Amino acid sequence: MEAETAIRGRTAEDVRVQELLDRYDTPDACAAQLLCDGHPADAVAFTVIEADLSSTDLTFGYLREQSTRFAAALAELGVEPGDHVATLMGKSADLVVALLGIWRRGAVHVPLFTAFAPPAIGFRLQASGAKVVVADADQVAKLAPGEDIPADVPWQVVVAGADTSTELSFSKLLASHDADNPRGAPVAVGADGGLVQLFTSGTTGTPKGVPVPVRALASFHAYLEFGLDVRDDDVFWNAADPGWAYGLYYALLAPMAAGVRSLLLHAGFSAPLTWQVMEKFGVTNFAAAPTVYRSLRADTTPVPESVSLRRASSAGEPLTPDVIAWSEQTLGAVVRDQYGQTEHGMFIVNAWADGLREDVPAGSMGKPLPGWSCAVLEDASDQVAGPGVPGRVAIDTHHSPLLWFSGYVDAPEKTAQRFTSDGRWYVTGDAGQTDENGFFFFSARDDDVIIMAGYRIGPFDVESVLVMHDDVVEAAVVGMPDELRGEVLEAFVVLRDGTEATAELEKELQQLVKRKFAAHAYPRTVHFVPNLPKTPSGKVQRFILRQR
Please report, in tens digits, the pLDDT of each residue of the chain (548 residues total). Answer: 444 444 456 899 999 999 999 999 999 999 999 999 999 999 999 999 999 999 999 999 999 999 999 999 999 999 999 999 999 999 999 999 999 999 999 999 999 988 888 888 998 999 999 999 999 999 999 999 988 898 999 999 999 987 666 679 999 999 999 999 999 999 999 999 999 999 986 444 578 999 999 999 999 999 999 999 999 999 999 999 998 899 999 999 999 999 999 999 999 889 999 999 999 999 999 999 887 898 898 888 889 999 999 999 999 777 878 888 899 889 999 999 999 999 999 999 999 999 999 999 988 999 999 999 999 999 889 999 999 999 999 999 999 999 999 999 999 999 999 999 999 999 998 989 999 999 999 887 766 768 676 555 778 778 988 999 999 999 999 999 876 677 889 999 999 999 999 999 999 999 998 888 777 889 999 999 999 998 766 778 888 998 87
How far is residue 198's CA from residue 113's CA, in Å, rounded to a whole number?
11
- What separation in angstroms does the CA of 255 have from each of 65, 158, 337? 19, 26, 20
CA dihedral (478, 481, 483, 484) in degrees, to 10, reads 20
The single-letter code of the amino acid at 83 is D
The side-by-side arrangement of strands in the sheet containing 209-213 is: 156-160, 132-136, 84-88, 108-111, 194-199, 209-213
Decide: 307 and 289 in contact? Cβ < 8 Å. Answer: no
Helices (H) and strands (E) in the chain, counts: 17, 24
SS3 394: strand
How far is residue 21's CA from residue 147's CA, in Å, rounded to a whole number?
46
The single-letter code of the amino acid at 364 is S
CB within 8 Å of 3: residues ≥ 6 apart: none
Taking the mean position of all CA atoms in its chain, how far away is CA 345?
7
Give the tens place of pLDDT for each residue, 248-290: 999 999 999 999 999 999 998 899 999 999 999 999 999 998 8
How far is residue 138's CA from residue 90's CA, in Å, rounded to a whole number?
10
Decide: 242 and 111 in contact? Cβ < 8 Å. Answer: yes
How far is residue 477's CA from residue 522's CA, in Å, rounded to a whole number?
10
Q: Where are the domains of the chain?
A: 60-211, 449-547
Domain 449-547 indexed as CATH 3.50.50.60 = no
CB within 8 Å of 15: residues ≥ 6 apart: 1, 4, 5, 8
Q: Terminus-to-terminus CA distance in the chain, angstroms?
A: 59
Long-range contact pairs involving 394-398 (C-beta distance under 8 Å, separation at least 24) = 394/420, 394/425, 394/426, 394/427, 394/428, 395/344, 395/347, 395/425, 395/426, 395/428, 396/424, 396/425, 397/423, 397/424, 397/425, 397/426, 398/373, 398/424
CA atoms within 13 A on the CB side of 216: 24
- What separation in angstroms does the CA of 155 have from each of 20, 35, 68, 119? 36, 27, 21, 16
Under CATH, to which class is 60-211 assigned? Answer: alpha beta
Decide: 81 and 231 in contact? Cβ < 8 Å. Answer: no
Nearest to 324, CA basis, from 269, 362, 278, 274: 362
Q: What is the pTM of this model?
A: 0.84
